[in-house]
């Protein structure tokens, strides 16, 4: 009996222990279920929904670029392309081979396609060939049964109606690099382009717009089952430029076959009305892909058609720099407007003789006469008295040696040297260096757009900056208002002295630029010639008159320059013309400037601006399978 009682007690204890363990286990399980279903239920439901619903991007249309009158200078047109969806064919390489028999693919294209096949999901479309011609598209459609997985997709491509005429201003777009597409999912969309130069590059983010979003139901492997929701993208901004496309065409035609550049500014507010560089290139070629043969042709051309000479071409300014030297001397009080300096045809400094362009000299000249006759000796002496640092400071004040605040990434600051700059390069500044900089030679490097800015500031007395953006989505930029630009920190009498000298250059008997004189009733132009050497001329050749630049090979001839503003009595337009290796500014650049300024004054583009209005709403194109990419 006692033994049975002990067994019962042992069993009861074991039962209690087991029951307790089961109770604890059940309690833990219940707590876990509560945690999963109640406390974390919403989180897991969201994760499950994310696994079923995929968000994908919709490509936005790229914004248009318009000229100041509302004429499109960069837009979009319909483009057809062939795409491959790998999951829709059992033999990808066989399909590609059959496609290549119809539409030949280069080794470069095949390599790109193979890379994308390796790194992309099988349901993501891959572009085989962009910019299909109608007969190519028809050929693919006829052979569709033999090309499983290959589809014709509609998209847009960039259109440049003015081609080479505005290439250096508008720029161009090109496909994004693999690294760019990796960093920004929207760039992986078929047909997306990135601005690579000029305004297209500067305003690239605004022109891209904002991608739309579509929510689709997908299966376990990511294949689309149905569309659940859609939010259309926002088209890129519509940007109105300051350029007048009609004037731009005429300026380009005036430069013709020269290797040259010309910049026309509204002198009151710095708006760029025309900026021409010749020769030029077709920007649409970058959109579809430049051939090696075309690239070789461009890069081997000694007239450098790919370079925007107006902002990236750097030249010694020559005698166009003399107004800056004059105002530096006036400000430093090393000269006065009426002081006369004698020119015997040369200036001796130590054992070095610096020649005037006139072998026989100009006699005694005041500042007006020095500018009118472009006397080198006069400005040698002014520079010697004033010093390079004071000249450099004045040059900077007029926009020289400072990168212009223009919407062209290619723009360069150039160089206006100082003593400190020379010492940083391990050399001492010599008095002779100062003298040669007095006539715009030496180490000076100036872009044509900077020369136009200099003239606009002389003409108006305002610190205008050249700019190309007039409005964004119909809203005028602040710089369009002349009152936005502050007064230049130069006394008005000194500006007046420079303007008078420029007027005499063109309009007085004996001035160096009679070929620039306007043939318009009651309108006068003020200007300054310039010629800059690109190679050393020996002392013997100068003294004996043996030097004849016309006989030199083209690349050794001096550059020809001319700067101007008009009308003289109410300055409105500023102009700079540079003809590479054009010899003399008075003979080569001045007539071109006269023709351009005549056209400008007759057109009066500053008064031809279209009233800014908001752009019409543009509905983003509906997404097709080829216009989707999964977000990260």
398-409 pLDDT per residue, tens = 999 999 999 999
User: Is the model more confident about 425 or about 625?
Assistant: 425
Q: Which tens digits make up the pLDDT trace of 476-520?
A: 999 999 999 999 999 999 999 999 999 999 999 999 999 999 999
pLDDT > 70? residue 365: yes
Residue 285 has pLDDT above 70, yes or no: yes
109 vs 305, higher pLDDT? 305
Greater confidence (99 vs 176) lies with: 99
Partnered with residue 347 across adjacent β-strands are 354
pLDDT band at 209 (very low <50, low <70, confident <90, very high): confident
**pLDDT tens for each residue of 214-271:** 776 766 545 556 767 777 778 899 999 999 999 999 999 999 999 999 999 999 999 9
Would you list the DSSP string of 496-539? HHHHHHHHHHHHSTT-S-GGG---STT---EEEEEEE-SS---H
Percentage of the chain lying above the pLDDT 70 cut: 83
Q: Does the reported pTM lie above 0.85? A: no
CA–CA separation, 83 and 92 (whole Å): 12
| Cβ–Cβ under 8 Å, residues 410 and 312 | yes
Q: How confident is the model at residue 198 (pLDDT cuts 50, 70, 90)?
A: very high
Q: Which of 259, 261, 319, 471 is catalytic?
A: 319
* pLDDT tens per residue, range 545-567: 444 566 688 778 899 999 999 99
pLDDT attached to residue 133: 85
pLDDT for residue 459 is more than 70 = yes
47 pLDDT higher than 70: no
The separation between CA 86 and the C-alpha centre of its own chain, rounded to angstroms, equals 39
Which CATH number fits the domain 56-242+616-627, given the four candidates 1.10.3720.10, 3.40.50.2300, 2.70.70.10, 3.90.1310.10?
Answer: 3.90.1310.10
Q: What is the pLDDT of residues 74-125, one digit of tens each?
A: 998 887 888 888 878 888 899 999 999 999 988 888 888 888 888 777 767 7
Partners of 72 in beta bridges: 66
> What pLDDT, in 10s, does the model give residues 310-333?
999 999 999 999 999 999 999 999
Active site residue 319: yes
Nearest to 141 by CA among 99, 113, 101, 100: 99
Lowest average pLDDT, out of 43-57, 130-144, 588-602, goes to: 43-57
Grouping H, G, I as helix, E, B as strand and the rest as coil, residue 1 is: coil
The domains of the chain are located at 56-242+616-627, 253-286+307-470+480-607
DSSP assignment of 303-314 equals T-TTS-HHHH--
pLDDT value at position 144? 85
Which of the following CATH numbers is that of domain 253-286+307-470+480-607: 3.40.250.10, 3.40.710.10, 3.40.50.720, 3.40.190.10?
A: 3.40.710.10
- The residue whose two tokens read 């260096």 is 433
């Amino acid at each position: 009996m006692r033994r049975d009682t002990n067994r019962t007690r042992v069993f009861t204890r074991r039962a209690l222990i087991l029951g307790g363990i089961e109770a604890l286990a059940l309690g833990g399980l219940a707590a876990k279920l509560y945690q999963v279903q109640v406390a974390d239920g919403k989180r897991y439901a969201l994760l499950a929904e994310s696994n079923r619903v995929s968000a994908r991007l919709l490509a936005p249309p790229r914004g248009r670029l318009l000229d100041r009158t509302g004429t499109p200078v960069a837009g979009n047109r319909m483009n057809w392309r062939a795409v491959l969806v790998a999951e829709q064919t059992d033999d990808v390489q066989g399909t590609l081979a059959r496609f290549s028999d119809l539409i030949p693919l280069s080794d470069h294209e095949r390599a790109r396609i193979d890379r994308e096949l390796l790194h992309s999901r099988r349901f993501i479309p891959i572009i085989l060939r962009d910019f299909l011609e109608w007969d190519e598209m028809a050929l693919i459609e006829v052979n569709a049964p033999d090309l499983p997985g290959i589809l014709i997709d509609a998209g847009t491509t960039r259109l440049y109606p003015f081609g080479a005429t505005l290439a250096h201003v508008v720029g161009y777009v090109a496909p994004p690099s693999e690294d760019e597409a990796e960093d920004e999912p929207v760039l992986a969309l078929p047909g997306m382009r990135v601005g690579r130069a000029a305004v297209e590059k500067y305003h690239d983010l605004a022109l891209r717009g904002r991608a739309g979003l579509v929510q689709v139901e997908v299966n376990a492997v990511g294949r689309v089952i149905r569309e659940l929701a859609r939010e259309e993208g926002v088209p890129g901004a519509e940007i109105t430029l300051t350029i007048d496309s009609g004037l731009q065409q005429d300026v380009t035609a005036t430069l013709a076959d020269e290797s040259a550049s010309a910049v026309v500014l509204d002198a009151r507010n710095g708006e760029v009305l025309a900026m021409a560089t010749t020769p030029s290139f077709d920007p649409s070629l970058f959109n579809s892909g430049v051939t090696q043969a075309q690239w070789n042709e461009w890069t081997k051309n000694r007239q450098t058609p790919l370079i925007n000479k107006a902002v990236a071409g750097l030249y010694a300014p020559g005698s166009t720099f003399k107004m800056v030297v004059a105002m530096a001397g006036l400000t430093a009080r090393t000269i006065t407007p009426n002081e006369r300096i004698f020119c015997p045809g040369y200036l001796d400094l130590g054992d070095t003789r610096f020649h005037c362009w006139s072998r026989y000299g100009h006699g005694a000249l005041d500042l007006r006469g020095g500018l009118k006759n472009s006397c080198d000796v006069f400005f040698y002496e002014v520079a010697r008295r004033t010093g390079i640092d004071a000249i450099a400071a004045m040059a900077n004040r007029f926009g020289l040696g400072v990168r212009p605040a223009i919407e062209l990434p290619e723009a360069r600051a150039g160089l206006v040297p100082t003593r400190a700059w020379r010492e940083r390069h391990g050399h001492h500044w010599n008095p002779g260096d100062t003298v040669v900089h007095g006539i715009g030679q030496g180490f000076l490097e100036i872009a044509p757009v900077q020369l136009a800015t200099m003239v606009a500031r002389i003409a108006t007395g305002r610190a205008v900056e050249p700019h190309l953006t007039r409005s964004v989505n119909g809203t005028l930029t602040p710089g369009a208002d002349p009152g936005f630009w502050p007064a230049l920190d130069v006394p008005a009498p000194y500006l007046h002295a420079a303007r008078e000298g420029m007027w005499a250059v063109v309009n007085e008997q004996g001035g160096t630029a009679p070929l620039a004189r306007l043939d318009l009733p009651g309108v006068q132009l003020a200007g300054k010639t310039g010629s800059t050497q690109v190679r050393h001329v020996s002392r013997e050749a100068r003294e004996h008159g043996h030097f004849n630049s016309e006989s030199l090979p083209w690349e050794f001839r001096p550059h020809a320059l001319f700067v101007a503003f008009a009308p003289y009595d109410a300055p409105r337009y500023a102009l700079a013309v540079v003809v590479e290796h054009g010899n003399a500014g008075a003979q080569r650049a001045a007539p071109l400037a006269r023709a351009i300024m005549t056209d400008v004054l007759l057109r009066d583009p500053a008064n031809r601006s279209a009233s800014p209005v908001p752009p019409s709403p543009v509905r983003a194109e509906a997404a097709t399978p080829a216009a989707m990419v999964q977000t990260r």
